[in-house]
Amino acid sequence: MLNTPDLSIDKYIKGFPENVRNILQDLRQAIHEQAPKATETISYGIPTFKQNGNLVHFGAYKNHIGFYPTPSGIKAFEKELSAYEISKGTVRFPLNEPIPYSLVKKIVAFRVNETSAKRK
């Protein structure tokens, strides 16, 4: 599912249990705090934030929240993310542990700077 124009981030979040909805709303808020000009959409079936191109994505799964700040976002914060399962462009935050919102904000700020620099 590449783009789903009939699905909004609100509808996406609404489809989860309350505890997961709260996490997703807090994650959404953390992203907007660092990227207030970012636009929201659904891409690849998950919430996506765009500003000068794709900024970050996130999604909820059975046991974790997937956060997708692109490979550069993972590489730039590899040390800080070492407590989590990571791959080339993904970090998995377990649902049974607190989400590191301050780290998410740092990564989003990095991505905003990165995408702005590429635009110039």
Residue 12 is encoded by which pair of tokens?
């996406």
22-73: pLDDT as tens digits? 999 999 999 999 999 999 999 989 999 999 999 999 999 999 999 999 999 9
| Residue ranges per structural domain of the chain | 9-111
Q: What is the CATH number of domain 9-111?
A: 3.90.1150.200
Residues in contact with 99: Cβ distance below 8 Å, sequence separation at least 6, in sequence order: 23, 26, 27, 65, 93
More confident residue, 45 or 6: 45
Q: What is the pLDDT of residue 6?
A: 57
Q: Is 111 within 8 Å of 54 (Cβ atoms)?
A: no
Residues in contact with 66: Cβ distance below 8 Å, sequence separation at least 6, in sequence order: 46, 57, 58, 59, 60, 90, 91, 92
